[in-house]
Amino acid sequence: MPELPEVETLARTLRPALIGKTILASDLRWKRTLAAPSPEAFKRKIRGQEITEVSRRAKYFILRLSSVSLLIHLRMSGGLLVVLGGYQPEKHDRLILKLTDDTSLIFSDPRKFGRVWLVDDPARVFADLGPEPLSEAFTAGWLFAALRARRRQLKPLLLDQTFLAGLGNIYVDESLHRAKLHPLTPSDRVTARQAEGLRNAIRATLEEGIRQNGASIDWVYRGGGFQNQFRVYGRTGQACPVCGRKIQRLTVGQRGTHFCPKCQKLKD
DNA sequence: AGAACCCCCTGTTTGC
DNA sequence: TGCAAACAGGGGGTTC
């Protein structure tokens, strides 16, 4: 489920239920979910920690604790849930944190791609991430210069978290359509004016996604409404909302890529 | 440097 | 209908 707007929605939604709670015990049900430290050290260090802050960086969900930080990356199929009362673990639960006030935080993840870190310094995990697209650092000028410094197709470049952090397959396709740029456009051929349009399109798309509480697709994530406003994502063969032409799909970097052949022309 | 391919996993959808 | 292949919101790795 998780791109920036979905993780942001989770942080906003779970914050009031988590702030001030103390972690009484942990139950790691799939060892490889834990990226660091060792399962033994994790169990020992997390017990007794109080949750002081709930936030997000890129697609990472962050729990600031008394003396360490818990980072959770949901990857393709992860989800987080706070439950009240006696809880019977379910099939896809990978980590369960028992909290005060008879509550638990459940990390569920059918595909097991999700990862959890318990670290002293989150900055080390985040070291290679590009800027936050909703921060002030993400200006048209920065984007234009950064695009020119590379020679890559826009689609894979915008998915690259070291270039820009937080976009995933949905929001890249939606942003490129809004910006009227073909996904295969070489980054160093984007004009300053197009870069400004792309910057604005990315921000508008993410802000709308957050406003809609993210996108709900398949069985993984529910509650968001952004899926009802997709312009191109998952709409192969359907009409472009701008010009009516049929949306096309191609594969770029192993990822399904959706675009309008009329609105997003590839010039040469 | 960048593109193309592999892998990690499970569940659902699609095509024959 | 049944079964196999394709596909899925992510990201790390190798090879050319």
pLDDT digits (tens, 9 = 90+) for A67-114: 999 999 999 999 999 999 989 999 999 999 999 999 999 999 999 999
- Catalytic, A207? Answer no
Residue ranges of the domains in chain A? Answer: 4-125, 140-259
pLDDT score recorded for residue A229:
96
Q: How far apart are CA A247 and CA A156, in angstroms?
A: 19
Q: Could you read off the pLDDT of A209-243 as tens digits, one per residue?
A: 999 999 998 766 778 999 999 999 999 999 999 99
pLDDT at residue A268 tops 80: no
Give the pLDDT confidence of A105-147 residue by residue, as tens digits.
999 999 999 999 999 999 999 999 999 999 999 999 999 999 9
CATH of A140-259 given 3.40.50.2300, 3.50.50.60, 1.10.8.50, 3.30.450.40: 1.10.8.50
Instruction: Label residue A1 by pLDDT band (50, 70, 90).
Output: low
**Active-site annotation holds for A3:** yes
Amino acid (one-letter) located at A188: D
A15 catalytic per annotation: no
Q: Calculate the average pLDDT of chain A.
A: 96
The pLDDT of residue A223 is 81
Positive or negative, the Cα torsion across A152, A173, A179, A221?
A: negative
How far apart, in whole angstroms, are the C-alpha atoms of residue A50 and residue A46?
A: 9
Which nt has its C1' nearest the CA of A74?
A: C10
Q: Look at residue A217 in the predicted model and tell me its pLDDT.
A: 80
For A56, other C-beta atoms within 10 Å of its C-beta total 19
- Looking from the CA of A178 toward its CB, the CA atoms found within 13 Å total 23
pTM of this prediction exceeds 0.95:
yes
Residues 71-100 on chain A lying near strand C, CB distance under 7 A:
73, 75-76
Which amino acid, A97? L
Residue A267 clears pLDDT 90, i.e. is over it: no
Over range A151-167, report the average pLDDT.
Answer: 98
Over 90: is that where the pLDDT of A204 sits? yes
Distance CA A6, CA A2 (A): 5
Which of A21, A56, A57, A59 is labelled catalytic? Answer: A59
| CB A181 under 7 Å to nucleic chain C | no
The fold adopted by the segment(s) A4-125 is N-terminal domain of MutM-like DNA repair proteins (3.20.190)
- Distance CA A111 to C1' B11 in A: 8
A30 backbone dihedrals φ, ψ, rounded to 5° = -140, 105
Averaged over A13-34, what is the pLDDT? 98
How is residue A119 annotated by DSSP?
E
Helix (H), strand (E) at residue A24: strand A23-28
